[in-house]
Chain A
Amino acid sequence: NPVIENFKSKISVRLDLEEVNKTWMEENGATFYQTIAEHYGIWRDLFNHCFFHPKFFMDITYNITDSRYMPIYMGNAVAPFEARSAPNVSYECDPDSLYTLILTSPDGNLQNNNTEFLHWMVGNIPGNDVKQGEVICNYMPPFPVRDVGFNRYVFVLYEQHQKMDYSKLQKPGDCLSLSERNFQTLDFYGERQDELTPASIAFYQSQYHPCVSKYFRETLKMKEPIYEFIHPPPYHPVQKKHPHKKPFNLYLDRYRDIRELNEEAMKYKIKQTNPFEKFKIPKYPAVFNNRMKPTWLQLKERHRALNKHQWKNV
């Protein structure tokens, strides 16, 4: 049946993704990059809400093995071991002009939460050739710390109007000292506004991986920091003197000082333990003798045995 065959053939049309991507990037790529960068807070953190539309796009790839590579777009997740060596950066540009490439991480600074950490800086790049540029700060791989979430690593490419003198920013050859790599894009660009214009941007995200521990231990030779997430304090409505239909024991416990509650819980636990005997886990911890006890006391003992409420961390 020609009608059904025509219908079937329509669904099998598949576009060439690379071709479509190429034409789309020429048309809408700059606004796409700008939107994504704003969504990830890059303009807010690097340039204090100032933004630019990238003039052209960098083709950045990390070599994993001889045949495999990891490309960098705008925010894709990259493991730290994949980014252990400097990436290959290429872009289409005027071969006569000079460029500066900076790789910073706004979340990577372990001393100050409001400054960035400089991973790589190459200045006075002639045209396309990053390897012939002046290495002001050698490449350091990303080291996102444990339990901290995804960190952003941003590549910014600036076009230079003249040859720049970065001797003040020059770091020693193999700079492994973390305190020397404090960086602030706003200050850097603010001083050189007349000589530099930002031309391109790209970034990736990275999360903790055991290779980071190894990096801290062997290369940076320092203790690896481990952080624990602190949840925001829970919401409590304003305390009333005569709350309607609220259990008095739970209501009053909610407004007590948490240190007092923790102290009581700890004292109870210490009282139960005998330092000269081995600790025995009770076989049926939730079984109680509830005879002649008020319900609030029954509930308290149940919570205590099951490690709930203020006895959770005991």
Chain B
Amino acid sequence: NHSDSPNKDFKVNPQYINRNPRCLEQAGIAPKPLGWQLQNPSRTYHHKIKFDISARNIIAEIIHNSGKVVVSASTKEKAIKAHLHSCNDKSAALNLGRILAHRCLQAGITRVKYQFQIADRQSERMEVFLSALRSNKLIISEKNTFKPHYIPGIDYERPNRY
């Protein structure tokens, strides 16, 4: 059809591998680690929120299921501490939520999992932190992974797990 095109002799590779390691997670296809069912908390997530309140400071982190800390915000940082009266109270929690959401969107992380714990029901700081994350456009639930339906049979000519 396109005889005058600059790409008429261009042959596209029939196999395409997207090397982006976050690609499958964002598409909802990458499997979540399922083998930690007997432990609490589980690891069925891609990115989770960790909200740690200590006696003087608050640390909020986004952790990948491999254990790596991807994005973090804490009141120990010079930039945040300078503007806060108390590093431990609700206002600090609220502002940390806003800042963490801002940094997550900069890093391309839009969906995060929050593992509910019964103790968090009474924590107003946690509630304020989560509502700040939500209002700053960070979605606090992850996509369910898609698994294809079972089809019997093994393809012995391809590499397979048998």
Task: Tell whether B32 is near chain A: CB-to-CB under 8 Å.
Answer: no
Contact digits for A82-120, partner B, Cβ 8 Å, 1 yes 0 no? 000000000000000000000000110011110000000
B77–A15 CB distance below 8 A: no
Select one of B2, B20, B69, B95 contacting A205, CB under 8 A.
B20
Knowing A20-B80, A20-B83, A27-B78, the reply to whether A221 touches B6 (Cβ < 8 A) is yes
Q: Which residues of A contact B156 (CB under 8 A)?
A: 257
A279 at the interface (CB under 8 A from B): no
Is A67 an interface residue, CB under 8 A from the partner? no
Could you say which of A15, A75, A225 contacts B95, with CB atoms under 8 Å apart? A15
Interface residue ranges of B49-105 to A (CB < 8 Å):
64, 68-71, 77-80, 82-86, 89-91, 94-95, 98-99, 102-103, 105
Contact present for B154 and A21 (CB under 8 Å)? no
Interface residues of A in 11-59 (CB under 8 A from B): 11-17, 19-21, 23-24, 27-28, 32, 35-36, 39-41, 45
**List of B residues within 8 angstroms of A23 by Cβ:** 78-79, 82
Tell me if B150 and A113 are in contact (CB < 8 A). Answer: no
Asked if A308 is at the interface of the complex by the 8 Å CB criterion, the answer is yes
Whether B78 and A76, one on each chain, are in contact in the complex, defined by CB atoms closer than 8 angstroms, is: no
Please classify how large the interface on chain A is, using the bins under 10, 10 to 19, 20 to 34, 35 or more: 35 or more
Residues in B with CB closer than 8 Å to A214 are none
Closest residue on chain B to residue A255 by CB atoms: B154
Task: Tell me whether B8 and A222 are in contact (CB under 8 A).
Answer: yes
Pair B79/A107 contact, Cβ less than 8 Å: no
Report which of A21, A177, A231, A238 forms a contact with B7, defined as CB distance below 8 A: A177
Within 8 A of A (CB), among B7-23: 7-13, 15-23
B68–A39 CB distance below 8 A: yes
Cβ-defined contact, B16 with A149, below 8 A: no
Task: Give Cα distance in the complex from A76 to B107, angstroms.
Answer: 6
- Residue of B with least CB distance to A116: B19
- Is B108 an interface residue, CB under 8 A from the partner? yes
Is B35 engaged at the interface, CB distance under 8 Å to the other chain? no
Contact, CB under 8 Å: B12 / A111? yes
Residues of B within 8 A of A106 (CB): 19-20
Please pick, from B16, B78, B94, B107, the residue contacting A73 in the complex, using a CB distance under 8 A.
B107
Cβ contact within 8 Å between B153 and A15: no
Contact between chains at A17 and B102 (CB < 8 Å): yes
Bound-state Cα–Cα, A260 to B98, Å? 58
A229–B16 CA distance with the chains assembled, in angstroms: 9
Contact assessment for A113 and B80 in the assembled complex, using a CB-CB cutoff below 8 Å:
no
In the assembly, what is the distance between CA of A179 and CA of B106, in Å?
33
Whole-angstrom CA separation of A189 from B120 in the bound complex: 51
Interchain nearest-CB distance for A11 vs B (Å): 5
Q: Within 8 Å CB of A222, what residues of B?
A: 2, 5, 7-8, 10
- In the bound assembly, the distance between CA atoms of A232 and B154 in angstroms comes to 12
Q: Closest chain A residue to B106 by CB distance?
A: A73
Q: From B6, B90, B161, name the one whose CB has the most chain A CB atoms within 10 angstroms.
A: B6
Contact B162–A312 (Cβ < 8 Å): no
By beta carbon, the residue of chain B nearest A224 is: B12
Is there a chain A Cβ closer than 8 Å to B121's Cβ?
A: no
- A178 & B10 in contact (Cβ 8 Å cutoff): yes
A12 to B156, CA, bound (A): 65
**In the complex the two chains form, what is the Cα distance from A107 to B22 in whole Å?**
12
Is A195 in the interface zone, CB < 8 Å from B? no
| Docked pose: A74 CA to B107 CA in angstroms | 5
A36 CB, min distance to chain B CBs, angstroms: 5
State whether B19 touches A45 (Cβ < 8 A): yes
A15, B161: Cβ atoms closer than 8 Å: no
The residue on B at minimum CB distance from A176 is B6
State whether the Cβ of B34 lies closer than 8 Å to any Cβ in chain A. no
14 CB contacts below 8 A, A to B, read: A10-B85, A13-B95, A14-B94, A20-B83, A32-B103, A76-B107, A106-B19, A111-B12, A150-B18, A179-B9, A233-B154, A236-B154, A258-B153, A258-B155
Query: CB within 8 Å of A: which residues of B?
Result: 2, 4-13, 15-24, 26-27, 29, 64, 68-71, 77-80, 82-86, 89-91, 94-95, 98-99, 102-103, 105-110, 128, 148-156, 158-162
9 more contacts with CB within 8 A, not counting A107-B18, A233-B158, are: A15-B99, A24-B79, A28-B77, A106-B19, A113-B13, A220-B5, A222-B7, A250-B152, A257-B153
